[in-house]
Amino acid sequence: MVDRAFAYAISAMQPKSAQRAQPSLPDYRVRVEARSLDGLAGQLSGLASDAGHGRLWAVADAPAELLALNTDGQVLSRHPLDGFDGVSGIASLGDDRLLLVEKGRHTLVVMPAPQAPDEILRRHGRQALRLELPNSDQAVEGIGYDRAGDRLFVVQGHAPSHLYEVRGLRAGLEGRAEVQLIDRAAWIGDKFVARDFAAVKYDARTGHVLLLSNASRLILELDDQGRFVAYQPLAAGFAGLHETIPQAVAMSMDDERNLYVASTANRFYAFEPD
């Protein structure tokens, strides 16, 4: 668990230029804490911001389901995912298209955003791409998409996790070219504060990568060279949290840098820049 002495220690690692950046990850305050998403049979496993519509997309597993949420964590609609196997992450590709990942198959599937409130989303016939990851026996935990650069960041496995960058995603999905897989182990290999990552997101405003560690109960921010920039503890007393987030499993960020986190027991958290 993150305690204050530990937090002060890793704060000293933060470059002065990052400390002047506004807003940075430590400058958050919780707005919604531990809202329960009642009625779900499965466990939330991924979050993605849908900036064009002011909402969030969430995926749950066992049974596989897509949910539309408002930014307070209230469920707007629910959509069964037919034919999917172990959905563990979601990203918005823009233009009302969603990218889902099947954790065991290491397969990316493109789906149109649902238009009807109870629309069933079927996997059959959808555009898909299997990632040839070196650690084939480890599950994919989360994905984060850089739309401008057409890059996908992939977190795989636990203790330690693996981080990959996939370049040329659109061409790969369309079958026009092979994707380029880059191992970003060097970005996380020296981050002693966290080795166990459950989710990854790309922040288009800064070009930084955010990594969620459920074991260390924090979010790390890395720059485009993999250097440590900032962190956000998810423990009680930080960002106004009354209680520690027990086991964070998913996160997302919108265009205003509002931060959203989901935990086990299907609890929802929203943070805003302080």
Q: If we measure between CA atoms, which residue out of 233, 223, 250, 203 comes closest to residue 100?
A: 250
Arithmetic mean of pLDDT over the chain = 89
Which stretch of DSSP H or E encloses residue 16?
A: helix 16-20
Whether 20 shows a pLDDT value over 90: the answer reads no
Q: Is the pTM of this model over 0.75?
A: yes
pLDDT band with cut points at 50, 70 and 90 for residue 51: confident
Q: Are 46 and 98 in contact, with CB atoms under 8 Å apart?
A: no
pLDDT in tens, 183-222: 999 999 876 667 789 999 999 989 999 999 988 899 999 9
Domains held by the chain: number: 1
Q: How far apart are CA 196 and CA 156, in angstroms?
A: 10
Which stretch of DSSP H or E encloses residue 30?
A: strand 28-36
pLDDT band with cut points at 50, 70 and 90 for residue 23: very low
pLDDT band with cut points at 50, 70 and 90 for residue 1: very low
Q: How far apart are CA 243 and CA 49, in angstroms?
A: 25
11: which DSSP letter? H
pLDDT in tens, 86-131: 999 999 999 999 999 999 899 999 999 999 988 999 999 999 999 9
Q: How far apart are CA 4 and CA 15, in angstroms?
A: 19
pLDDT in tens, 73-86: 999 999 999 999 99
Domain that holds residue 189: 4-273
- The domain that contains 27 carries what CATH number? 2.120.10.30
pLDDT in tens, 233-243: 999 999 999 99
